[in-house]
Amino acid sequence: MNKSLTLKPIRGLSVLLALLVLTVMIVIPLIQIFIQSVYRDGELQLAAPFRTIADADLAQVMLNTVWLGICVIFGTTLLALPLAWIMVHTSIGRIKGLEVVLLIPFMTPPYIGSMGWILFMQKNGYLEQLVPALGRLAPSFFSFGGMIAIMSLHLFPFLYLLLRGALERIGGSLEEAASVLGAPAWYRFRRIVVPLLLSSFGMGAMLIFVKTIAEFGTPATFGKRIGYDVMTSEIHRYVSSWPIDFGKATSLSSLLLTVCLLMWYVQSVVNRRYTYSLVGGKGSRRSAETSRGPVLWLGGLFVLLLLVFSIGIPYFSIVAASTMKLRGEGLSWSNTTLDAYRELLSFGTPGMKALMNSIWLALAASSIAAVLGTWFALVIRRSKTIGQRSVDLLSLLPNTVPGIVIVVGLILLWNSPWMPIPLYNTAGIVILTYVVLFVPYTVQYVKSAAGQIDGSLMQAGQVFGGRPWYLLSRITLPLILPGILAGWTMTFTIASRELVGSLLILPPSMQTSATFIFAQFEQGQVSLGMAMAVVSVGFTTVILTIMESLGSKRKWNKR
């Protein structure tokens, strides 16, 4: 009793401190955007953002963005729904490792994937060289349809995971019960599967929409080439190239921010009210009846084609371009060389410097994010009080807010004339940006790890005489360590290839692997840029694999 009483003020203080840190890190930058967008010439003009948008022909950009979001929902559905069905209902789902392979498109930075597609489809690109007959079709890929295809191929795993989970739970006894009670296949599909799938699908579709309109990599590479402007690419233009116009940038940012927050709110309401708990008990089992024959063949073909399009083509193009000796010569063994890698990986070259920058920035950011995220997660605990719930909400906010909006907010705050801390234009601001962008990963992983710790474990520790700090170090920390490691790994992986923050906020003389790739692809040596892409994706994959195998070696994680 005594101990918990003395701990209370510390806990309260901790919550307050966490809220303060989050406010400085996340809330103030976002508020800056709103303030900047409504304050013009020293006075408050609430209508200013709308006027700016109406004046500057930005309405078209907004429409473009929304239309892209809707079309990508359609595209991802077309890919994810059949895939989920195949993986649940045929023996293809039991192929080892396929589950992990299907996540690769999602883990591939979208700008790299887009570059792969551009290299493959452009004039005299790899498609034309491999199958000259199809070469004539290639130009038509550089269109709105191509953009939808690229983004859908990047985002589909996200929807797939949601649909697969729902289908698996339905496919057990819920569908069997209908079958025993006399419902033929089509009736079961109509009355049981579709209604139950709908809530999961709605959820996934909303998240896909938010992810699409927040996406920067593909619009910045492919979208720019076909002249399809969306909000993120326009924001980037107004803050990075002359004439710089923060009025337009903040107006667009606040609009984008509002849409995303609104979607997120609707989604959480829908989630709370209309989702049926489909949690299967121990009785839920994988449906034993699987399809054979033509269905299996068609399913296999579908999965194979999907893998070719989502992984095969982009990666083939990137690797091929990175080993190309002369651009005009085309694909042949005699035209391959590892010169680009040699140049990239030798000491002192700009490429090597950029790579090293990426690594140490990501290391610093992921370590800070791991510490902060763990602290937030422990403060949140079971989010009972308002303070804890606010920490929960704020620390996960960067997941919902588009990266470019956060970056603009950080620029506004740290570059403002009254800011006493000279962080802007140093490496520090880059690390801060990464931390803000990716702290939700650690918070989520640690939260879920801590959620599995039963209250009785702590009580047992107390009964056996453990003091609070002893309990934290001997019980809580070891049990949440896998969560911390997962958060660290994820943050490191994503931060080391992050594009939008790096493009906007890096000090002038500094480059990271992402900006290096971007610059080389736009105007420079494509082979050098693509070699960097291979290296950066390669080494982050190695690190992911190492951490994964370390995690699975833990005894108590094994079933």
Partner 1 sequence: MHMDLYIEGLSKTFGPTTALHPTDLIVKEGTFTTLLGPSGCGKTTLLRMIAGLEAPDTGTISIGGDTLFDASRKRSTPAHKRGFGMVFQDFALWPHMTVFENVAFGLRTSRRTQDLKQTVTRALEKVQLGAMMDRYPHQLSGGQQQRVAFARAVAVQPRLVLFDEPLSALDASLREEMRVEMLSLVRDLGLTALYVTHDQIEAMSMSDEIVVMHSGRVLQRGTPEEIYAKPTDPFVARFIGRSNWITAASPSAEPLQATNDADLDPKKNPPEPAVTLAMFRPEHLRWEPLGEGACDAYEVEIVQASYMGDRYEVHVQADGQEERWTAYYDCRIPAGSRMTVYLPRKKLHRLNAVPKS
Out of 277, 334, 456, 509, name the contact with partner 1 by CB under 8 A.
277
Please say whether the dihedral angle defined by the alpha carbons of residues 239, 491, 322 and 427, taken in this order, is positive or negative: positive
Q: How far is the CB of 559 from partner 1 (least distance, A)?
A: 17
With contacts defined by CB under 8 A, name the span among 282-290, 311-319, 358-366, 499-507 that binds partner 1.
282-290
Residue choice 74, 276, 297, 360 for contact with partner 1 (CB under 8 A)? 276
State the Cα–Cα distance between residues 98 and 113, nearest whole angstrom: 20
Query: Which one, 278 or 393, has the nearer CB to partner 1?
Result: 278
Q: Is the CB of 180 or the CB of 421 nearer to partner 1? A: 180
Residue closer to partner 1 (CB basis): 176 or 343: 176
* Cis amide prior to 243 (ω within 30 degrees): yes
Closest CA to 260 of 293, 221, 213, 298: 213
Nearer to partner 1, 166 or 257 (CB): 166
Judged by beta carbon, residue 66 or residue 278, the one nearer partner 1 is: 278
Tokens of 533: 């892409």
Candidates 72, 196, 235, 408; binder of partner 1 (CB under 8 A) is 196
Compute the distance between CA of residue 2 and CA of residue 192 in angstroms, rounded to an integer.
Answer: 54
| Identified binder of partner 1 from the candidate list 49, 172, 373, 402, rule CB under 8 A | 172
d(CA 549, CA 90): 28
Contact call for residue 182 and partner 1 (CB under 8 A): yes
Secondary element (H or E) of residue 40: strand 39-40
Are the beta carbons of 233 and 179 closer than 8 angstroms? no
272 binds partner 1 (CB under 8 A): no
At 182, give phi and psi (nearest 5°): 95, 15
Q: How long a stretch of residues is the chain?
A: 559
Nearer to partner 1, 14 or 179 (CB): 179
Q: How many residues bind partner 1 (CB under 8 A)?
A: 28
Q: List the interface residues with partner 1, window 202-261 (CB under 8 A).
A: none
Min dist. Cβ of residue 412 to partner 1 (A):
46
Phi, psi of 324 (to 5 degrees): -80, 130
Which position among 183, 345, 423, 457 is part of the footprint of partner 1 (CB under 8 A)? 183
**Pairing relation of β-strands 39-40 and 43-44?**
antiparallel
Nearer to partner 1, 292 or 389 (CB): 292
3-state secondary structure of 485: helix
Q: Closest separation between CB of residue 290 and partner 1, Å? A: 11
For 163, counting Cβ atoms within 10 Å of its Cβ (0-12 exposed, 13-18 middle, 19+ buried), the class is buried
Q: Which is nearer to partner 1, 265 or 276 (CB)?
A: 276
Q: Kindly state the smallest distance separating residue 160's Cβ from partner 1, in Å.
A: 22
Angle at 445 between CA 443 and CA 448, to 5 degrees: 100
Could you tell me which stretch among 63-71, 166-174, 445-453, 458-466 binds partner 1 (CB under 8 A)? Answer: 166-174
Binding mask 288-317 for partner 1 (x = CB under 8 A): xx----------------------------
Residue 290: CA atoms inside 13 Å, Cβ hemisphere, count?
17
Site string for partner 1, 31-70 (x = CB under 8 A): ----------------------------------------
Considering the complex, what minimum distance in angstroms separates the CB of residue 272 from partner 1? 13
Which residue do the tokens 């004339």 mark? 417
Helices vs strands, H then E, count in the chain = 29, 2
Q: Is 286 in the site for partner 1 (CB under 8 A)?
A: no
Instruction: Report which DSSP code applies to 426.
Output: S
What CA–CA distance (Å, rounded) separates 497 from 315?
16
Q: Which residues contact 228 (CB under 8 A, 6 or more apart)?
A: 64, 68, 144, 147, 219
Binding-site member from 181, 326, 421, 463 for partner 1 (CB under 8 A)? 181
Q: Kindly indicate which of the ranges 40-48, 54-62, 180-188, 328-336 contains the residues binding partner 1, using the contact rule CB under 8 A.
A: 180-188
Instruction: Name which of 175 and 234 has its Cβ closer to partner 1.
Output: 175
Contact between 284 and partner 1 by CB under 8 A: the answer reads yes
Smaller CB distance to partner 1: residue 95 or 177? 177
CB within 8 Å of 42: residues ≥ 6 apart: none
Query: Looking at residue 388, what DSSP letter applies?
Result: H
In the complex, least distance from residue 92 CB atom to partner 1, rounded to whole angstroms: 17
191 binds partner 1 (CB under 8 A): yes
- CA triple 197-297-146, angle to 5 deg: 65
Of the residues 177, 308, 453, 477, which one makes contact with partner 1 according to CB under 8 A: 177
CA atoms within 13 A on the CB side of 433: 35
Q: Closer to partner 1 by CB, 185 or 356: give it.
A: 185
Indicate which single residue of 195, 451, 507, 524 sits in contact with partner 1 (rule: CB under 8 A). 195
Contacting residue, 74, 187, 265, 297, with partner 1 by CB under 8 A: 187
Q: Which lies closer to partner 1 via its Cβ, residue 183 or residue 543?
A: 183
Does 331 help bind partner 1 (rule: CB under 8 A)? no
Distance, CA of 40 to CA of 28 (rounded, Å):
19
Q: Which is nearer to partner 1, 288 or 386 (CB)?
A: 288
Stretch that binds partner 1, among 24-32, 200-208, 238-246, 278-286 (CB under 8 A): 278-286
Beta bridge partners of 39: 44
Strand partners, 324: 336
If one asks whether residue 178 binds partner 1 (CB under 8 A), the answer comes out as yes
Cα Rg of the chain (Å, integer): 25
Pattern 123-162, binding to partner 1, x per CB under 8 A?
----------------------------------------
Instruction: List CB contacts of 291: < 8 A, sequence separation 6 or more.
Output: 89, 90, 299
Residue ranges in contact with partner 1 by CB under 8 A: 172-174, 176-184, 187-188, 191-192, 195-196, 276-278, 280-284, 288-289
